[in-house]
Amino acid sequence: MSRMVRRHWRLVMLNLLLILAGFVLVLHVLLRNSPRASAQTVESSSAEASTASPTDAASVAQQLTQLKVQELRQRLSLQDETLAAMGCSQDQATQILSALVNWTSQNASNASTAEQAVAAAQANLAEAQRRINVGPRYEQVLASLPTLQQSCNAAKAQVDQLYTSAAEVVSGQLNAAQQQIWATVKANTSLGVPQAYRYNSNLTANDAAGMQVSAYRGVPTSINNSAETSQNIRENMPTVITAEKATLPAVNQ
């Protein structure tokens, strides 16, 4: 009986050894093949990345540039309607938009740095004003206000100077009449005149306030654009839009 038991356990141990040996063999094979497969996967992914990345990066950069051009146009009061009101042809609108694209590509980094400087200066000034308002009263913080305000003004002046160079790029492509229309639009925009009435010259801050109230109440104002300006907008808007779609395709998808 004991002999049979010993034989049984020998068979059990042998089976266990065979199973363990098989497991070790399979594990060995997997470990040998795994790095090779991983390397092949990495190489394949790298090859795909090297093929796709430049195109994707260029596409993203183009889209960002064109979006920044739209922001620049908003800042310069140079939207489609303004170009149409100035009587821009498709070729002229294309040249203006292309010039803004080139300016943005060359000055995007400088613009970002300058705007960040403004944001930082405004944040420092706001924090000092907050500390003064909530108390206790710190003479040192109070004394720093003029310097902080000067820093804020200087940062804003730097931004204005930078964007003035963009405006100069456009001005060089406009005739005297077009420059006058654009100057009127920019002046009225700074006053807060509603967009529909920004082509009227000699408007005052009081006129702008009255227009804002009328627009809020839905009441028509007695001030209207000239018949010539309205006709220019109607006639030239389609060609300006065509130029925008060709020059700034990423923002017209």
- Kindly report, residue by residue over 54-67, the tens digit of the pLDDT: 667 777 878 888 88
Question: Which whole number is the average pLDDT over 133-147?
Answer: 81
pLDDT at 27 over 60: no
Tell me how far CA of residue 66 lies from CA of 56, 74, 79, 97, 165, in angstroms.
15, 13, 14, 10, 18
Taking 90 as the threshold, does the pLDDT of residue 14 lie above it?
no
Helices (H), the chain: 2-76, 80-85, 90-134, 139-171, 176-191, 205-217, 227-247
Position 53 scores a pLDDT of: 62
Residue 102 DSSP code: H
* pLDDT level of residue 172 (50, 70, 90 thresholds): very high
Of 201, 247, 248, the C-alpha closest to 94 is: 247
What Å distances lie between residue 9 and 6, 14, 19, 145, 240, CA to CA?
5, 8, 15, 92, 93
The answer to whether the beta carbons of residues 121 and 235 sit under 8 Å apart is: no
Give the separation between CA 19 and CA 13, rounded to whole angstroms: 10
Report the range out of 36-40, 52-56, 96-100, 245-249 with the highest average pLDDT.
96-100
Per-domain boundaries in the chain = 1-50, 82-252
